[in-house]
């Protein structure tokens, strides 16, 4: 293998991680949202906070918006503000799960008026992309059923396909549709896009601008996510990740906190496909309910960097040779050697090379930004995910 330090540094320089606007706002569970101090009150303030993460990591240059949580009058103005702060606006996340009309579904609702309303919202999101210069429309549907017989499973697939087609046909040059899936919740019996296979099949039917988004928290326990990654990469249909960690269901904890080994295995498949810099959006989709937001996002970005560094350290030539020789133990050992390497000194070096503080969290804490926003944002309405 070429000089491992160079391989890791070159690979990591091409890695970009997108942070979500909603990670900076108040969030919680259905039991309680514990408000924190210094929380942004506007999309502009969320962008300022996201810019802090980029400032100290150098690797988070874009921020995803969620509509309507981040609705503003002037999206071009918001994009210009982002640029001034040193970041840009990334994926536009649609929201067809909070309007009272969507109780029985959005794009799969049995009532045509409600389906039309849902599609209208998705089309509005594409208009916003035009204004912000975003290339990715992220779709997640909470649509599903709580009870067997509640609606017709197959008709709902037809309605879904029809709605997706209408939105797909509206996409401009260079714009993509990312279709996310989720096993269950809020629907408990059947979800209309429950798994990667369903998402993949709809994407293939739609055309080349549609790709799957893997939210790492949206699977049954024990699911081999790196297999899904490998399959979709091979098929050219892996569009994005929503990174987060889970212990039980869709816990939305910091990526790499619950199962860093799984994150490493996922990133190894990316490295294996030479896809670190190739059109896959590496996004975070997390909620920091009890920990301070900006330090938690910093930690998350660093966790992805660490897993990626380890994945880049895998001696792929040696691994391939051992695999071809059928040497089970040697193959496994090569992978584990990379995983068990402490890459933190290397990452500190990479940051120093780029003129950054080797310890982003310490640098952020020293900056006084946290104290400043607590003082400046004492009045007004704090942002939250508004459920």
Tell me the closest approach of the beta carbon of residue 33 to ligand RM4, in angstroms: 14
Residue of the chain from 45, 136, 151, 215 that contacts Mn ion (CB under 5 A)? 215
Nearer to Mn ion, 44 or 97 (CB): 97
d(CA 112, CA 296): 42
Using CB atoms, what's the residue nearest to ligand RM4? 140
Instruction: Measure the N-to-C terminal CA separation of the chain; round to a whole number of Å.
Output: 50
* DSSP code at position 195: S
Closer CB to ligand RM4, 48 or 142, in the complex: 142
- Min CB(246)–Mn ion separation in Å: 11
Taking the complex as a whole, the smallest distance from the CB of residue 243 to ligand RM4 amounts, in Å, to 11
Q: Which of 70, 242, 252, 306 binds Mn ion (CB under 5 A)?
A: 242
Closest-CA residue to 284 (of 348, 216, 219): 216
Nearest distance from residue 93's CB to ligand RM4, in Å? 5
Residue 93, contacted partner among ligand RM4, Mn ion, none, CB below 5-8 A by kind: ligand RM4
Minimum distance of ligand RM4 from residue 250's CB (angstroms):
6
Tell me if the bond preceding 68 is cis, omega within 30° of 0: yes
Which option in Mn ion, ligand RM4, none does residue 115 bind, with CB closer than 5 to 8 A by kind? none
| 3-state secondary structure at position 372 | helix
Cα separation, 121 vs 145, in Å, equals 22
Site stretch for Mn ion (CB under 5 A), options 42-50, 213-221, 301-309, 362-370: 213-221
Interface residues with ligand RM4 (CB under 6 A) are 66, 93, 140, 180, 182, 215, 242, 250, 285
Where does the chain have alpha helices with state H? 4-13, 43-57, 75-84, 112-132, 153-170, 196-206, 225-234, 260-272, 293-313, 316-324, 328-339, 344-353, 360-367, 369-376
Site string for Mn ion, 261-290 (x = CB under 5 A): ------------------------x-----
- Report, in Å, the least distance between residue 251 CB and ligand RM4: 11
Phi, psi of 21 (to 5 degrees): -55, -35
Q: CA-CA distance, 297 to 295, in Å (whole number)?
A: 5
């Amino acid at each position: 293998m070429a000089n491992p330090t160079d391989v890791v540094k070159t690979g990591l320089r091409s890695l970009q991680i997108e942070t979500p606007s909603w990670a900076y706002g108040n969030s919680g569970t259905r039991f309680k949202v514990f408000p924190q101090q210094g929380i942004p009150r506007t999309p502009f303030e969320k962008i300022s906070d996201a810019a802090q993460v980029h400032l100290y990591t150098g690797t988070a240059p874009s921020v995803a918006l969620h509509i309507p949580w981040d609705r503003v009058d002037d999206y071009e103005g918001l994009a210009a503000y982002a640029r001034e702060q040193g970041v840009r606006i990334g994926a536009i996340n649609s929201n067809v799960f909070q309007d009272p009309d969507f109780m029985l579904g959005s794009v799969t609702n049995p009532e045509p008026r409600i389906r039309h309303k849902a599609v209208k919202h998705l089309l509005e999101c594409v208009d916003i992309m035009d204004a912000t210069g975003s290339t990715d429309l992220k779709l997640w549907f909470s649509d599903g059923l709580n009870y067997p017989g509640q609606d017709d499973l197959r008709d709902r697939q037809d309605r879904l396909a029809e709605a997706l087609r209408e939105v797909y046909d509206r996409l401009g040059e260079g714009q993509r549709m990312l279709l996310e899936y989720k096993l269950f919740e809020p629907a408990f019996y059947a979800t209309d896009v429950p798994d990667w296979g369903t998402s993949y099949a709809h994407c293939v039917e739609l055309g080349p601008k549609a790709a799957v988004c893997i939210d790492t928290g949206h699977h049954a326990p024990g699911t081999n996510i790196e297999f899904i990654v490998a399959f979709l990469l091979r098929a050219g249909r892996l569009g994005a990740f929503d990174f987060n960690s889970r212990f039980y269901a869709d816990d939305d904890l910091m990526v790499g906190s619950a199962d860093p080994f799984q994150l490493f295995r996922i990133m190894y498949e990316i490295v294996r496909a030479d896809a670190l810099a190739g059109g896959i959006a590496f996004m975070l989709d997390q909620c920091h309910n009890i920990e301070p937001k900006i330090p938690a996002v910093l930690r998350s970005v660093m966790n992805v960097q660490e897993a990626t560094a380890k994945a880049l350290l895998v001696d792929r030539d040696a691994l391939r040779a051992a695999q071809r020789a059928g040497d089970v133990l040697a193959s496994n050992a090569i992978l584990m050697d990379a995983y068990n390497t402490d890459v933190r000194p290397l990452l500190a070096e990479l940051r120093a090379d780029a003129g950054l503080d080797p310890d982003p969290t310490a640098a952020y804490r020293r900056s006084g930004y946290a104290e400043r926003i607590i003082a400046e944002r004492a009045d007004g309405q704090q942002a939250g995910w508004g459920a």
